[in-house]
Homo-oligomer: A and B are copies of this chain.
Amino acid sequence: MSDLKNDRFIRALLKQPVDKTPVWMMRQAGRYLPEYRKIRAEAGSFMNLCTNPELACEVTLQPLERFDFDAAILFSDILTIPDAMGLGLSFAEGEGPRFEHPVRTAADIERLPIPDPELELKYVMDAVRTIRKNLHGRVPLIGFSGSPWTLATYMVEGASSKNFAKVKGLMYEQPHLMHKMLDKLAQSVAAYLNAQIAAGAQTVMLFDTWGGALGTEEYLEFSLRYAQQVRSLLNTNYEGQKIPTILFTKGGGQWLESMVDTGYDALGLDWQTDIGKARTRVGDSVALQGNMDPITLYANPDIIKAKVATILEKYGDGSGHVFNLGHGILPDINPEHVKAMVDAVHDFSGPYHR
């Protein structure tokens, strides 16, 4: 970590002593920033932005110019892997992702390739290299991927879904096919994250956005099992550097004890879970990342600061906490409110690290 001017984030993930609690924000490079909206408009489409390493770098760095964030996160989408598998990703304006060729049959699953990250996903690796270079060691860079289960939901449904009827149908009726698909996805995700690490990502995070749609038994069998497979395949010691890993299951608060066993260094918490109780439950084994309700950022800065103080107090003394929202920031938040949050985390957290 010799090249890092600020390694608070890495240290907190590894539960090493820090001076202050580090903070970053899911979707910190995004629509709530006017400078992002400008670049996004010039790019013409969201995918144009993702696939252009210079533009992806520019929007990745934008929030660091405004706020005292302790980490940068690669600007990309969670659905790049299925796109690289040939499913044809597109984003209709205001509608969310769509796949031209959803996965429905045994033959569809059979023919799914495991993409070579430096070929089909080279634009992502180029973005990682460009960002890492332009960061000049200011803060660490987070790489990420959607989890195998979460990718599978979009691949089978063909789009965002409310009830997940198609993917759960496949899971209940033909579990062996679902397992085959998830195994391919776990291999693909691990290769993708390892390539990001090789390209310069200093931490990797797995987003299991839809694990919470499952029952406990199905979560363990179809989601967590493949998050663990990904973890087991990751190069977490890269050129002498320890690469911390983060697992985030939205709606997964009931399953933290099981998530601990997968070997990730940190667990992301949504806002439903009490972070103090979560710390008691997971013990000293993992760090925790989270978990302010994104809606809090609509409230006035005094209320935001009070909420930050409460979350810091709940986590309590010592390292192992990375402050974040419990889910991505919403597009119409006032950036001044983000500043109130970030500064409050740094201003209030010193006493917990003495």
Classify the secondary structure of A's interface with B: helix
Does B212 lie within 8 Å of A272, measured CB to CB?
A: yes
Closest to A272 in B: B215
A168 within 8 A of B: yes
Protomer copies: 2
A1 within 8 A of B: no
A284 within 8 A of B: no
CA of A78 to CA of B172 in the docked complex: distance in angstroms?
A: 31
Given contacts A163-B330, A298-B165, contact A271 B172 (CB under 8 A): no
Tell me which residues across on chain B come within 8 A of A163, comparing CB atoms: 294-295, 330
Closest to A332 in B: B165
Closest to A270 in B: B215
Does A272 lie within 8 Å of B169, measured CB to CB?
A: no
A273 within 8 A of B: yes
Most central of A214, A215, A217, A254 by chain B CB within 10 Å: A215
Tell me which residues across on chain B come within 8 A of A271, comparing CB atoms: 215
Does A251 lie within 8 Å of B274, measured CB to CB?
A: no
CA of A253 to CA of B270 in the docked complex: distance in angstroms?
A: 14
A233 within 8 A of B: no
Does A173 lie within 8 Å of B299, measured CB to CB?
A: yes
Does B164 lie within 8 Å of A295, measured CB to CB?
A: yes
Q: Which residues A245-299 have CB closer than 8 A to chain B?
A: 251, 253-254, 271-274, 277, 291, 293-296, 298-299
> A168 is contacted by which of B165, B277, B295 (Cβ under 8 Å)?
B295
A134 within 8 A of B: no
Given contacts A163-B330, A330-B163, contact A272 B299 (CB under 8 A): no
Tell me which residues across on chain B come within 8 A of A106, comparing CB atoms: none
CA of A42 to CA of B165 in the docked complex: distance in angstroms?
A: 30
CA of A274 to CA of B294 in the docked complex: distance in angstroms?
A: 28
Does A295 lie within 8 Å of B216, measured CB to CB?
A: no
Does B212 lie within 8 Å of A169, measured CB to CB?
A: no
Does B217 lie within 8 Å of A165, measured CB to CB?
A: no
CA of A214 to CA of B273 in the docked complex: distance in angstroms?
A: 9
* New contact pairs (20) apart from A168-B295, A215-B274, A253-B253, CB-CB < 8 Å: A163-B294, A163-B295, A165-B295, A165-B298, A168-B293, A169-B295, A169-B298, A172-B295, A172-B296, A173-B299, A173-B303, A215-B273, A215-B326, A216-B272, A216-B273, A216-B274, A216-B277, A251-B272, A253-B254, A254-B273
Top-7 shortest CB links A-B: A216-B274, A172-B299, A168-B295, A215-B271, A253-B254, A169-B298, A173-B299
Q: Name A's B-contacting residues (CB within 8 A).
A: 163-165, 168-169, 172-173, 212, 214-219, 251, 253-254, 271-274, 277, 291, 293-296, 298-300, 303, 307, 310, 326, 330
